[in-house]
A and B are shown apart, each in its own frame.
Chain A
Amino acid sequence: MEIVYVYVKKRSEFGKQCNFSDRQAELNIDISPNPELALQFVERNPVDTGIQCSASMSEHEANTERFEMETRGVNHVEGGWPKDVNPLELEQTIRFRKKVEKDENYINAIMQLGSIMEHCIKQNNAIDIYQEYFDDEEEVEVTEEAPSAKTINVFRDPQDIKRTATHVSWHPDGNRKLAVAYSCLNFQRAPAGMSHESYIWDLENPNRPEIALKPPSPLVTLEYNPKDSHVLLGGCYNGQIACWDTRKGSLVAELSTIEFSHRDPVYGSIWLQSKTGTECFSASTDGQVMWWDIRKISEPTEVVVMDISRKELLENALGAISLEFESTLPTKFMVGTEQGIVISCNRKAKTPAEKIVCTFSGHHGPIYALQRNPFYPKNFLTVGDWTARIWSEDSRESSIMWTKYHMAYLTDGAWSPIRPAVFFTTKMDGTLDIWDFVFKQCDPALSLKVCDEALCCLRVQDTGCLIACGSQLGTTTLLEVSSGLSTLQRNERNIASSIFERETRREKILEARHREMRLKEKGRAEGKDEDQREDELVVDLDGLVAKAEEEFFSVIFQELKKKEAEAMEKKPKQQRKSSDMDDVEEREGGSEEEVEGEEVPT
């Protein structure tokens, strides 16, 4: 027993000892009942009281531990033979059978059963009771039900030290498998002993991952090759690119060399459309986008630096945090940066400087997701800071549509592959929002709280019905959306395209107006004859200052000479001499001030 508190008092301070003694009981007060008080009260008869007559019960809850189940097949073997008959011996079985057939019971039974059976057989042949009667009638249109989504399955990180699920990729054929990349994105805060493994899950079995992939460093992104479903591309936390073939096992098949890889975690990696199906490219926050061929993955085939001043300087480069590539536009790709700028690039440009075509800025923070609309590739969705924005390539100054500022940071977003007007976003408070802007523009059509921790990544399956989202504690949740959100509505494509066009036009008009206003401002400040010079924004300050000084001094000297000449004519010599000096000084000061007053606005 540990000593919690020690109370110290000096013996001299104790005081006199208490000596207790016994004493007879004394009656101090005796109040006898006073019958007269009873007159103030009235007896109540009958009295209503509630009684309950039932068995007292208590409520208990119990939850069993999770039962580990495994699927196995059972093989049927012959059985049931009586002890004296050996099933393998053909003679014995035949003998047994013959014996049974001679049994009277048997004969009767067969006769009876035979007739029943015959009846049913004939019935079956006469009419097919399962025939489709109303085949040619068209399916009735689905009634408008409220959009909903429900969780189908949850895949938890089997490791004890939980890692964030940073990227999810669906299997290209059949979508029965999910590849999830796990890593810890907090800089240098990955706990010791954290496993580097990432998993491929089979949707049927959420208890155990189907295959574990073992990279040298945790994977930040993981993508299936759309052409070859056995090959996966992974981007590592240390900047390397790794490649797996699931037929060969869980160790890395190909790995890029550290010297030529990225210097920062690889945040985006996408397979390219090529005849060989072996080309891919990757982007990282070190500001580089590299192209690789996995057959020779030791070096990148091409490197582009994300420097928007087009000087290819790595120091100026912006860190890339998301990558976008649409196979229908194979020469273009887009990079979302940490600084909130989207850079649109052309792969086929001759000089590296021309690779960067244009930039779109509008976000206050890193752009975590970037995707073109699968139906209208000119419009793309970006997700970053607290909003999601939709842009049009034609409108470079600002986005054409945007959501309001949310309470939580947005972490990922994706378009629905089936409906052009629907997109999904995930937030740091664990909610998944489904937006349908032909239905409602200011709020999401459906907002679901998937889990308590932050959701970090999102991926929609090609059919548009299933969504997988990964959370900070490594839990991947599989949700199914209601059919209303995953089937193309009537006229939706036209409506969506008209919305995009309308918003683009609005932005263009606003842009034009802004430009006009800016021009007017400049015109007013610089004076009327400088209207033509509005384009030159870069002003040579030094030159201006020198010019101003020259003008200043020349004007002063002119003034001085003028005053001197006037003074000489008007006043007598002596006065002139003294007053000249005073006048000159005064006027110098005065004219200086005047001149200064004129010069300042320029």
Chain B
Amino acid sequence: MVEETLQRLQSQKGVQGIIVVNTEGIPIKSTMENSTTTQYANLMHNFILKARSTVREIDPQNDLTFLQIHSKKDEFMVAPDKVYFLIVIQNPTE
């Protein structure tokens, strides 16, 4: 089931990679190579926690549902959960 979902995501146009990270920053599953995965996992992890704490500090009832970082070359999308984060890197082709 999990595999199917991830496959479906991977097959979408422009998707470059998918990483599943847990709250400690350990990459559980990844479609990219090890070094890249580690780098992304570590960097994103801090960022996600910071974003989440920002949202909650402004309004404690609120919570982070989705995070998108749109850069010149790619778009990093993060879907956070209580225990895991799903990170997708997409290159939106125009």
Q: Does chain A bind chain B?
A: yes
Count contacts between A and B, CB distance < 8 Å.
Answer: 94
Are A105 and B79 also in contact (CB < 8 A) when A117-B88, A121-B88 are?
no
Instruction: Name the contact of A76 in the complex, choosing from B12, B29, B38, B65 (C-beta under 8 A).
Output: B38
How far is the CB of A174 from the nearest CB of chain B, in Å? Answer: 21
- A125–B12 CB distance below 8 A: yes
Residues 71-86 of chain B, each 1 if its beta carbon lies under 8 Å from chain A, else 0: 0000101011111111
Tell me if B5 is interfacial: C-beta within 8 Å of chain A: yes
- A79–B42 CB distance below 8 A: yes
Tell me if A80 is interfacial: C-beta within 8 Å of chain B: yes
Closest Cβ neighbor of B70 among chain A residues: A130
Are A124 and B90 also in contact (CB < 8 A) when A76-B39, A113-B81 are?
yes
Instruction: Name the contact of B28 in the complex, choosing from A101, A120, A124 (C-beta under 8 A).
Output: A101
Residues 16-46 of chain B, each 1 if its beta carbon lies under 8 Å from chain A, else 0: 0000101011101100000000110011010
- B28–A113 CB distance below 8 A: no
Q: Classify the interface of chain B: helix, strand, loop or mixed.
A: mixed
Are A109 and B38 also in contact (CB < 8 A) when A101-B29, A117-B77 are?
no
- A111–B24 CB distance below 8 A: no
- A121–B77 CB distance below 8 A: yes
Residues of A within 8 A of B28 (CB): 97, 100-101, 106
- A80–B25 CB distance below 8 A: yes
How long is the Cα–Cα vector from A113 to B65 in the complex, in angstroms? 10
Are A76 and B66 also in contact (CB < 8 A) when A100-B22, A110-B84 are?
no
Tell me if A107 is interfacial: C-beta within 8 Å of chain B: yes
- Chain A contact-residue range equals 20 to 34
Most buried by B among A78, A79, A101, A105: A78
Residues of A within 8 A of B77 (CB): 117, 120-121
- A117–B83 CB distance below 8 A: no
How long is the Cα–Cα vector from A294 to B63 in the complex, in angstroms? 68
Residues of A within 8 A of B94 (CB): 128, 131
How far is the CB of B2 from the nearest CB of chain A, in Å? Answer: 5
Tell me if B51 is interfacial: C-beta within 8 Å of chain A: no
- A107–B75 CB distance below 8 A: no
- A80–B2 CB distance below 8 A: no
- Chain B contact-residue range equals 35 or more
- B66–A120 CB distance below 8 A: yes
Residues of B within 8 A of A82 (CB): 24
Residues of A within 8 A of B86 (CB): 109-110, 113-114, 117
Residues of A within 8 A of B66 (CB): 116, 120
Are A117 and B79 also in contact (CB < 8 A) when A78-B38, A110-B2 are?
yes
How long is the Cα–Cα vector from A97 to B2 in the complex, in angstroms? 14
Closest Cβ neighbor of A109 among chain B residues: B81
- B42–A78 CB distance below 8 A: yes
Tell me if A118 is interfacial: C-beta within 8 Å of chain B: yes
Residues 354-384 of chain A, each 1 if its beta carbon lies under 8 Å from chain B, else 0: 0000000000000000000000000000000
How long is the Cα–Cα vector from A106 to B79 in the complex, in angstroms? 14
How far is the CB of A90 from the nearest CB of chain B, in Å? Answer: 10
Are A118 and B6 also in contact (CB < 8 A) when A101-B29, A105-B83 are?
no
Closest Cβ neighbor of A111 among chain B residues: B5
Are A118 and B29 also in contact (CB < 8 A) when A105-B83, A131-B94 are?
no
- A79–B5 CB distance below 8 A: no
Residues of A within 8 A of B15 (CB): 121
- B70–A113 CB distance below 8 A: no
Residues of B within 8 A of A112 (CB): 81
Most buried by A among B15, B39, B65, B81: B81
Tell me if B68 is interfacial: C-beta within 8 Å of chain A: yes
How far is the CB of B67 from the nearest CB of chain A, in Å? Answer: 10
Residues of A61-117 whose CB lies within 8 A of B: 76-82, 96-97, 100-101, 105-107, 109-117
Tell me if A122 is interfacial: C-beta within 8 Å of chain B: yes
Instruction: Name the contact of A125 in the complex, choosing from B6, B14, B22, B70 (C-beta under 8 A).
Output: B14
Residues of A within 8 A of B12 (CB): 118, 121-122, 125
How long is the Cα–Cα vector from A180 to B45 in the complex, in angstroms? 45
How long is the Cα–Cα vector from A76 to B25 in the complex, in angstroms? 12
- A114–B6 CB distance below 8 A: yes
Residues of A2-28 whose CB lies within 8 A of B: none
Most buried by A among B20, B26, B29, B38: B26
Closest Cβ neighbor of A76 among chain B residues: B42
Residues of A110-157 whose CB lies within 8 A of B: 110-118, 120-122, 124-125, 128, 130-131
Known: A79-B25, A96-B26, A109-B86. 8 other contacts (CB 8 A): A77-B42, A97-B29, A107-B2, A109-B83, A110-B84, A113-B86, A114-B9, A125-B14
Chain B interfacial positions (CB closer than 8 Å to A):
1-2, 5-6, 8-9, 12-15, 20, 22, 24-26, 28-29, 38-39, 42-43, 45, 65-66, 68, 70, 75, 77, 79-86, 88, 90, 92-94
A–B pairs, 10, beta carbons within 8 Å: A101-B29, A106-B84, A109-B82, A110-B6, A110-B86, A111-B1, A111-B5, A114-B79, A118-B8, A124-B14
CB-based closest 3 A-B pairs = A80-B24, A80-B25, A114-B5
